[in-house]
Structure 1
Amino acid sequence: MYEKTANFQNGIFTNKHPANMTVEDLSFGKTMKFFFDLSRKPKGPLPACKIGKDSFPATPAELQVVWLGHSSMVLDIDGVRLLIDPVFGNASPLPFTVNRFQPPPIKREELPELNAVVISHDHYDHLEISTIKYLAPRVKLFIVPLGVGSHLRKWGCKQKQIVELNWDESIIIRDVEIIAAPAQHFSGRGLRDRNETLWASYIFRGERHRAYYSGDGGYDGRFKVIGEEYGPFDINMIECGAYDKSWKNVHMLPEESVRAHLELRGKHLLPVHWGTFDLAFHKWNEPIRRIYDLAAEQRINLLTPQMGEICIPGTSSHTTWWEPA
């Protein structure tokens, strides 16, 4: 089906820059630490803003983001409202392997009216069966990377609802162009479907505003290229958590997240992919602490909203709510 696609070879999708996608130097002791290190999750519920349909303006805003935890967000840009990587439950088919320590600030039933749902890849912490099944009869459009539509069709979405994009392909919704861009990552929901679907980052280009979402992936040369072609961006939503040197090609370290933001020529940085699941060995708030210090050093406009808080770049002011009171 994808034989003529440049990034599809020998039955699987490939990264633009070949890199080792396996975990390196993972010892038994480190593995045991993963299950028994209590610092990987907070001692209690985190501060959050409980929200519902009435929390959102009836007409999508010019530019605002509501972070729902991890990589789930509601993005309003130039009058278009998008739900990105929505996950309201756990991030694994085996709950004992991954713990969700922070509930979402909104229920699925309380989501506002959406123009589209945007999915970056098919990993469990970005694509949730129960959420897609709920949204299928309620949302007109699902924008996904190549191959991910096969999951959605199994879960109740009709073919006419699904737009599958390869890198550098796009769709326009009310004068906002949504462009799938490269990411250095991998895909798969089981033991036998590795890289059978594509992964992507996204550029949101309106007439007045531009935004970028990194999806998941290690650091490579794509950010400078994207920044030169599509930047500057009013806001960059970039992953900053669930990292480790053992899988540095899969997820960026905080220093790399900041470098990516600068290469993208972003005006404001919203760190995502943290604060919800215990997916890595680091303390739950280590990612935001490191990003916060780096942003201060480099004078980056850092956005640090609580989950559920309406975030408007340039007007929102936030506290270090992740620090102990």
Structure 2
Amino acid sequence: MNRLAKIVKRTMSIVLCVFVLLAVITYFYLKLPQFGAIPEEARLETVKKSKHYQNGQFRNLIEKPTISEGYSILGELWKTLFKKYPRREPSTTIPSVKTNLKTIPVSSNVLIWFGHSSFFLQVDSVKILVDPVFSGKASPLPWSVTAYKGTDKYTGDDMPEIDYMLLSHDHYDHLDYETAKALQPKVKHVICGLGASAHYERWGYSPQQLIEKDWYEKVDVKPDFSIYTDNTHHGTGRGFIQNQSLWLSFLIHSPSMTIYYSGDGGYTERFKLVAQKFPEIDWAIMECGQYDKAWQSVHELPEEVAQATIELHAKNLLPVHHSKFTLGKHPWDEPLKEITRLSQGKAYRLVTPMIGESVNLNDSTQSFQQWWKNIN
């Protein structure tokens, strides 16, 4: 019995040592710069003044469980670890083109999509970069979520001088440490949610570059040109502490057009409300990918994307949040196939460019290939 007790005691000591070692490693790993920072001191005091910050974190307008009814966190974790889902990644290189952003005529209104939710806009001579991720990964663990072959066509060096860089939220597939560091000398201003500028400040951005906003605020760019911040139903966090910065959608209202970017978030009544405030939306750039009925409250399904676009009364739909990273369980090309099917006969025009392909925002006759066809 004494021998058994010694074995149990030794085993427990080893387990405890391993646990303490892992805790120490995790603690110091989370101190690495790619995890960013949470708001402190004066920035935290500003955060606390927002009516959307309650009981120590930002909240959605209507609280909903992240996991849908009939599903469980443990069940979804088990599926992720042990169940196989077909065609979650393409078997070959994703087609793309390389447009020189630095030589685009200043008079051109264009959009260049870089895969997932990263894109460049030039509208009425203002250069805007949204949620850029150029490092080839969407996770602090380099091997866990990597970009598909052919999707890393662009780097920070390919970007021109940027007037405004927009951040919808701080998840790794939208805010990339390496990209943010590389772009710092080129970016005049960053517009982000309350609290999120703590990341940029840690990474070397000056206070003069950073513009933090709550929902329903605006930044005046120049006469008759404003960028509005609006709500979405999502969350934030780059470590164990969640929802310390605010998640956003954006409305870009220029003299020549109005562009809505949904950011990430589940379907709510917000699209109808946006349409009431901005009845002439030319372009809706909508999250469409990395969804699952298990977490439908925080990511829209394709049928909800189509419905939201109708409610926005948008003339054109450009779906994003797909074709670069695998974060959901669906086949990699399902978002494009489904939104194409669901958009048939709708009042809006569906636009599906290849990565890097120049979209002329003023040309309603420009056509695009269904480039994902014949890719397994």
1:47-66 equivalent positions in 2, closer than 5 A: 47-54=95-102, 56-59=103-106, 61=108, 63-66=109-112
| 1:18 corresponding residue in structure 2 | 63
1:124-163 equivalent positions in 2, closer than 5 A: 124-163=172-211
Contact 2:237 2:244 in 1 (8 A): yes
Q: Which structure 1 residue ranges, 4+ long, deviate > 4 Å from structure 2?
A: none
Question: Distance in 1 between the 2:248 and 2:255 partners?
Answer: 23
| 1:279 corresponding residue in structure 2 | 327
Whichever of the two has the greater Rg, that structure is 2
Structure 2 SS opposite 1:275: coil
Contact 2:181 2:203 in 1 (8 A): yes
Contact 1:52 1:106 in 2 (8 A): no
CA positional deviation for 1:32: 3.0
Worse-matched range after superposition: 267-276 or 93-102: 93-102
Over residues 279-310 of structure 1, what are the superposed CA-to-partner deviations in whole Å (9 max), with x where a residue is unaligned?
Answer: 11000000010000001142530001000000
CA positional deviation for 1:18: 1.4
CA positional deviation for 1:29: 5.0
Residue type of the alignment partner of 1:100? A
Over residues 23-75 of structure 1, what are the superposed CA-to-partner deviations in whole Å (9 max), with x where a residue is unaligned?
Answer: 743346522356x5451111111110023344x414152x3211011000001
Contact 2:310 2:347 in 1 (8 A): no
1:45 is matched with which residue: 93, 97, 100?
A: 93
Question: Distance in 2 between the 1:268 and 1:153 partners?
Answer: 36
CA positional deviation for 1:97: 2.8
| 1:114 corresponding residue in structure 2 | 162
CA positional deviation for 1:235: 0.5
| 2:285 corresponding residue in structure 1 | 237
Gaps of 5+ in 2: 1-44
Worse-matched range after superposition: 279-288 or 134-143: 134-143
Question: Distance in 2 between the 1:196 and 1:72 partners?
Answer: 23
TM-score with structure 1 setting the length: 0.94
Worse-matched range after superposition: 133-142 or 282-291: 133-142
Residue type of the alignment partner of 2:207? Q
Give RMSD over aligned pairs.
1.6
Query: Structure 1 residues 33, 228: CA separation in 2 closer, same or farther (over 3 Å shift)?
Result: farther
Gaps of 5+ in 1: none
Question: Distance in 2 between the 1:65 and 1:220 partners?
Answer: 27
TM-score with structure 2 setting the length: 0.82
Higher helix share: 2
Residue type of the alignment partner of 2:234? H
| 1:71 corresponding residue in structure 2 | 117
Residue type of the alignment partner of 2:256? R
Is 1:84–2:134 an aligned residue pair?
Answer: no
Residue type of the alignment partner of 1:163? I
Structure 1 SS opposite 2:339: helix
2:309 is matched with which residue: 235, 252, 261?
A: 261
Number of matched pairs? 321
Structure 2 SS opposite 1:141: strand
Question: Distance in 1 between the 2:76 and 2:252 partners?
Answer: 41
Residue type of the alignment partner of 2:59? T
